[in-house]
Chain A
Amino acid sequence: MHEIVRYDPGLKEQIARLQRHLWSDDVRLNRAYFEWKYEENPFIKVPLLHLALSAGRVIGMRGMFGSCWEVGSSPRRVLVPCADDFVVEAEHRNHGIGGAIMRAAVEDTALSDYEYAFSLSAGPVTLAASLVAGWRAVGSMRPARRTSAQALFLNRVAARLRTAPALWRYANPLVRAHYRGVGRPFGALDHRARRTSGLSSSAVRVEASPRVDAMADVVAELGHDGRLRHARDEAYLVWRYRDPLHEYRFLVQGADRLRGYLVLQAHRTEPERGIRIVDWEATTLEIRMDLLRAALEWGRFPELIVWTATLPSETDGPLAALGFVPTSSGSQLRGVATTMIRPAGRAPAGADAILEGQRLLDLASWDMRMIYSMAG
């Protein structure tokens, strides 16, 4: 038997243990991540989580963290709860618990203050479970990956091992051991950036801390075309880059006043997840590509991933030329990051879900960066 309950602070420790499935193996790190994401969130102050309990033990979870979006030609700010962290312990799956948590999460009266809930980077499992709970898919964020020759070779070896009867269990440990042996994810980037006095031929610098005021200025200077995007002001950026589960590097061009920036992210304890470009803005295409080329040249990353769905189309060609390829053939069932929406606390969305004149089910209404999602 199980019951679905709202979050209670007495369950925090159990959540940190449960989320070893998704966040990290380190319970202490998971606790810090929970506190940052749900307790220190600048938009929803009280953790909005639903938990499945069996004999008093937490066996499943769905969370909603707060986010703040800008939308419309005279931008209006809208607070939106974002669904995340869906997990049910293996031995309790297929007993209706996943569906019950999903329903409780979107039907909670605490959501009645909000128009919509978003889900920003659903993988295939969450995608399938969400569809059943009345979520509607906006579209894939179309991740693209650039893989080094060495990592491609390693992936091929691991793929072979996975199909070998006696050896399959060594495939994942092999990949993990390799990435951990390579050293810190940003080791090469930091080293080369220091050796060149932090300046590439295109005047790009690498910084370990975000210059949130200058980054917010770049966003403001670029203007807003009315599509849905997360508000990236100083207060948000300060909170966002304190994410304890990940570390970041900031490639910037410009002095006091930045002309562009590119943010890289790595998982603190699982480098095999790859490096991600989580935000990337510049006043010109040339600066945008200078930032990326500096990251590639200095970082020598085994894997670099970027969401391409709403990048300016002028970046498509240069990204392909630099070796970025889509991470899937396009099938929704093979690991794409899908953005989804659902009216908060009400019936599922019809085809006319509209916010400030923007059709939410149309990907063209969105201007997405990975940093908006907790994948970033």
Chain B
Amino acid sequence: MGIHAERMALRDELRRLILEFAPEREAALADDTPLITSGIMESITLLNVALWVETKVGSEVEITSFDLAAEWDSVSDILTFIERHQAPPSA
């Protein structure tokens, strides 16, 4: 799968996860919609997204070590975070 297709697959998965907790936001949820600063993604949803991110990067995510509101404030931000932290594929 190409990088773009991989990102699209992750994007769809992440959207499904967020909408599971906030189904009424489906129409309004764009890739750059503010999630944390707008309150769309709060406590339990945020925690579930964090657990999901851990499965994607393949290691524990220390959520206390960075500014969550700045780095995870949109679907696009979260995908970028994952790409930055994913372990490189083994040779």
Which A residues are within 8 Å of any B CB, using their own CB? 86, 88, 93-100, 124-129, 131-132, 136-137, 329-333, 338
Cβ–Cβ < 8 Å partners of B46 in chain A: 128-129, 132
Q: CB-CB < 8 A to B8: which residues of A?
A: none
Given contacts A95-B39, A99-B36, 9 further A-B contacts (CB under 8 A): A96-B40, A125-B47, A127-B63, A128-B46, A129-B42, A129-B46, A331-B60, A332-B60, A338-B64
Q: In angstroms, how far is the closest chain B Cβ from the Cβ of A87?
A: 10
B41 near A: Cβ within 8 Å? Answer: yes
Give every chain A residue within 8 A of B61 (Cβ-Cβ). 331, 333
- For chain B, the count of residues having a C-beta within 8 Å of the partner chain is 24
Residue on B nearest A90 in the bound complex, by CB: B44
Which residue on B lies nearest to A123, using beta carbons? Answer: B47
State the Cβ distance, B80 to closest chain A Cβ, in Å: 18
Structural contact, A96 and B38, CB atoms closer than 8 A: yes
Interface SS of B by simple majority: helix
Cross-chain contact of A129 among B43, B60, B62 (Cβ < 8 A): B43
- Report B-chain residues with C-beta under 8 Å of the C-beta of A338: 64
Query: CA separation between A286 and B82, bound complex, in Å?
Result: 49
Q: Is the CB of A100 within 8 A of B39?
A: yes
Complex: A165 Cα to B62 Cα, angstroms: 32
Verify A94–B63 contact, CB threshold 8 A: no
- Alpha-carbon distance A12/B62, docked complex (angstroms): 37
Indicate whether A97 sits within 8 Å of B54 (C-beta atoms), given known contacts A131-B63, A333-B61: no
Q: Mark out the residues of chain B between 1 and 44 whose CB falls within 8 Å of any chain A CB in the assembled complex.
A: 21-22, 25, 36, 38-44
Q: Are B50 and A97 in contact (CB under 8 A)?
A: no
Does B87 count as interface, using CB distance less than 8 angstroms?
A: no
User: Chain A: which residue is nearest B72 at the CB level?
Assistant: A132
Chain A residues near B42 (CB-CB < 8 A): 88, 93-99, 129
Known pairs A330-B60, A333-B63; A132 contacts B36 (CB<8 A): yes
Separation of A94 and B47 alpha carbons in the complex (Å): 12
Min C-beta distance of A150 to chain B, whole Å: 30
Q: Please state if A93 and B45 are interface contacts (CB–CB under 8 Å).
A: yes
Q: Report chain B residues within 8 Å CB of A127.
A: 63-64
What residue in chain B is nearest A139 (Cβ atoms)? B64
How far is A132 from B70 in the complex, measured between Cα atoms in Å? 9
On whether the beta carbons of A333 and B45 are closer than 8 Å, the reply is: no
By a CB distance below 8 angstroms, the chain B residues around A100 are: 39
Q: How far is the CA of A338 from the CA of B40 in the complex (A)?
A: 24
Q: How far is the CA of A332 from the CA of B41 in the complex (A)?
A: 18
A131 touches B44 (CB 8 A): no
Instruction: Collect the chain A residues with CB atoms within 8 Å of residue B44's CB.
Output: 93, 125
In the complex, chain B residues whose CB is within 8 Å of the CB of A137: 64
